[in-house]
Amino acid sequence: MMWDQAEKLRKMVQSSSGKKGSSVIKANRTNARVITVTSGKGGVGKTNFTVNLALALAKLGQRVLIIDADLGMGNVDVILGRSTPYNILHLLDGGFSLMDIITEGPLGIKFMSGGSGLYNLANLDDSQLTRIINKITLLDDLADIILIDTGAGISKSVMNFVVAADEVIIVTTPEPTAITDAYAMVKTYVSHSGTAVLKLVINRVMEPDEGKIAADKLIKVALKFLGLTISSLGFVYEDSNLVKSVKKQTPLLLAFPNTASARCIEQIANRLLDRVASSKTTGVKGFFNKLLGLMR
């Protein structure tokens, strides 16, 4: 895509920000915080973490929406035990509103499937893109926090979601291979000139020290060799209840709310709200603006 075309896309996103109605629904509200959840290595627990974090944030009074951006292997719906037949591309159909493609989950959390459409936005023609963008930017009024669950982050398509977000949560296990892959992911992120605020969660730790040591290692190396600041959000215990919750298709926070691992996730939710969102939170509009620029 040529630069001027990308510029046109950006203008479309920007002009949709002034849409009538949105300011009425959410007067004086700030934009949604767009947080991408990713990892270096696959299978480290991103999707389970994302769903349970969403529930923990909902318990704290936040309006949360999860966007499943894991192409092919997306399984937020499986973990929630609710499936949705629709995805972002259905917004192209004049008969579909944003609410039609959003599914309500437990504790009022909302969930939406990105489908392949999320990765192919740049292939849409201008009128198709306008139609999608006009609808999708209404998300700023519907959610305080938007969590985007991605696949592992090294590929270019996933990296776009990482670079375009205001905040990124990197999930890793304490295993050396997972830490090495997380570092490789962060390095790729730096080469893409990312400016998001990076946060780290160590999943599947046997004892608090293991989590702390793994986090410190990655944080120190990223600072020393990449000049990059990553903050730690904490850790989540290795817990067989997590495996059980997946089998039950009931998220840990609902199936086993009193476990130590559930408390870990609640603590992480608290920390996420403690740390004031960066002033450059640009919301859904800003996110899609950047995403389209990167996809050109």
The interface partner of residue 166, options being ligand ATP, Mg ion, none and the CB cut-off 5 to 8 Å by kind, is none
- Could you list the beta-strand ranges (E) of the chain: 33-38, 64-68, 102-104, 110-113, 145-149, 167-172, 197-205, 230-237
Among 22, 31, 48, 172, binds ligand ATP (CB under 6 A): 48
Write down the least CB distance from residue 79 to ligand ATP, Å: 7
Among 115, 151, 194, 286, binds ligand ATP (CB under 6 A): 151
Q: Is 48 exposed, middle or buried (CB count within 10 Å of its CB: 0-12, 13-18, 19+)?
A: buried
**How many Cα atoms occupy the beta-carbon half-sphere of 241 within 13 Å?**
18
**Would you say 23 or 155 has its CB closer to Mg ion?**
155
**Would you say 46 or 90 has its CB closer to Mg ion?**
46
Among 1, 15, 23, 43, binds ligand ATP (CB under 6 A): 43
Write down the least CB distance from residue 50 to ligand ATP, Å: 8
**Would you say 22 or 48 has its CB closer to Mg ion?**
48
What is the footprint of ligand ATP within residues 227-266 (CB under 6 A)?
Answer: 236, 238-239, 242-243, 246, 261
Residue 151 φ/ψ, nearest 5 degrees: -80, -175
Six token digits for residue 221: 């190396």
Distance CA 15, CA 184 (A): 37
By CB under 6 A, the count of residues binding ligand ATP is: 21
Write down the least CB distance from residue 243 to ligand ATP, Å: 4
**Would you say 47 or 261 has its CB closer to Mg ion?**
47
Q: Looking at the DSSP assignment, which residues form a beta bridge with residue 198?
A: 168, 230
Q: Check residue 191 and report its DSSP letter.
A: H
Write down the least CB distance from residue 24 to Mg ion, Å: 36
Neighbours of 177 (CB within 10 A): 11
Are the C-beta atoms of residues 200 and 168 closer than 8 Å to each other? no
Among 204, 233, 259, 282, binds ligand ATP (CB under 6 A): 204
The interface partner of residue 48, options being Mg ion, ligand ATP, none and the CB cut-off 5 to 8 Å by kind, is ligand ATP
**Would you say 72 or 94 has its CB closer to ligand ATP?**
72
Residue whose entry in the numeric block shows the structure tokens 């696949």: 151
**Would you say 249 or 278 has its CB closer to ligand ATP?**
249
Distance CA 187, CA 207 (A): 28
Distance CA 60, CA 84 (A): 26
Binding site for ligand ATP (CB under 6 A): 39, 42-48, 70, 73, 151-152, 203-204, 236, 238-239, 242-243, 246, 261
